[in-house]
Amino acid sequence: MSQVIILFVSLLLISTTTLLDSSSNASSKVIIKANETILSENRTFELGFFNINGEPRWYLGIWYASIPTPTYIWVANRQTPAKNLSAAAAVITAEGKLAVVASGREILWRTENAAAAGEARLLEEGNLVLLGGDGEVVWRSFDFPADTWLPGMNLSGSQSLTCWRSSTDPAPGKYFLRLKPPEYGEIELVFNGSQPYWSTGKWTGDAFSGVPEMTVPYIYRFHFSNPFTPAAVFGYTELAAEGGGRPPPTRFQVDFSGQLRQYTWSPQAENWNMFWSRPENQCKVYGLCGNLGFCNTKMLSACKCLANFEPIDGGEWGAGDFSGGCRHRGGGVCGSNDGFEEIGAVSFDGSITESFSGD
């Protein structure tokens, strides 16, 4: 009898070791390898590696499984993509952290949970949770938002949203949304860590003073606990659809263009319906067009360089990241064809104003 048990145990060991390939150490547990994915219970969300435009840059992320348009609501290794999908994996390390590993066992990204995790689970609401030995939650992706704010997710003193750098680069960009310190009684959009350019206005008890539409009965229920204290937590949930059915997918997102946008999925049109955005005028986004760029929402692309100027980085400019700004085509030197050009009425954000007269 005891021999049978020993045989069984060694078989088990063999099969466990073969599950672990060279992309991770024998002591870590593979959650996802290469093109494998994990679905939430009712197939609403999916976790796996994705890339954009076929580029060899792979990110561990969460997207809607039920929607044909790829929409990434969370990204783990935003700044450290894997180059080779076949060798990439998400593992729980021997220390109980969730890690993204590349070929050669190189760790690209990892969680910093204090208590060790043994298991990862993707919940129906889009939250990736790590569970400890007793099944307790030791880490949640909802506590580390990327650019998207889903029903059930909270904003707090330590939880804010950071936009993507461009439509093709999930690395953190320059715009973020946060509860405004030190009062924590309103939500603001901030450029580059220090320059606020839009705010909800202060909380009045059932809405923010600058967002009266929050009091209109809709599919959301907002909650704000401990407003005006460092323990403030603001979030929202989605009400069940009429008849108790599942409500349409909905999300807020800090777009790479610096706007906070709100979308619901339209199954009829098969696309995201953006029905609210702030600041409403995209040109009110601080620093949108960079140095020597100017903004006009009536143009196909919001930003343009002044005449005889060109984008410093044409690739980024094309992907919608205008922040690099423009430079003179002649490389900074004025030529004999240069002069003053009238560009109409514009307003400067935060620039130095100089007046001079001439004829």
Which residue is listed with tokens 């998207």?
148
Contacts 24+ apart (CB under 8 A), 44-47: 44/124, 44/126, 44/249, 45/73, 45/122, 45/124, 45/125, 45/126, 46/122, 47/90, 47/122, 47/128
Q: Is residue 233 part of the contact set for ligand NAG (CB under 6 A)?
A: yes
Binding mask 184-223 for ligand NAG (x = CB under 6 A): --------xx-----------------------------x
CB of 201 to ligand NAG, least distance (A): 21
Please pick, from the candidates 51, 71, 80, 103, the single residue that binds ligand NAG as defined by CB under 6 A. Answer: 103
Contacts 24+ apart (CB under 8 A), 8-11: none
Of the two residues 101 and 117, which places its CB atom closer to ligand NAG in the complex? 101
Alpha carbons 142 and 164: distance in angstroms, whole number? 17
Please pick, from the candidates 16, 17, 158, 225, the single residue that binds ligand NAG as defined by CB under 6 A. Answer: 225
261 neighbors 255 (Cβ within 8 angstroms): yes
CB of 186 to ligand NAG, least distance (A): 17
CB of 222 to ligand NAG, least distance (A): 11
CB of 191 to ligand NAG, least distance (A): 7
98 neighbors 20 (Cβ within 8 angstroms): no
In this chain, which stretch among 57-65, 101-109, 206-214, 248-256 interacts with ligand NAG, using CB under 6 A? 101-109
In order of 65, 148, 248, 283, the CA distances from 167 in angstroms are 20, 14, 24, 18
Binding mask 28-57 for ligand NAG (x = CB under 6 A): x------x-----xx---------------
Q: Is residue 84 part of the contact set for ligand NAG (CB under 6 A)?
A: yes
Alpha carbons 261 and 54: distance in angstroms, whole number? 26
Q: Is residue 160 part of the contact set for ligand NAG (CB under 6 A)?
A: no
120 neighbors 127 (Cβ within 8 angstroms): no
Chain positions 4 to 33 lying near ligand NAG, rule: CB under 6 A, are 24-25, 28
Residues that bind ligand NAG (CB under 6 A): 24-25, 28, 35, 41-42, 84, 86-87, 91, 93-94, 99, 101, 103, 105, 107, 124, 142, 152-154, 192-193, 223, 225, 233, 235, 287
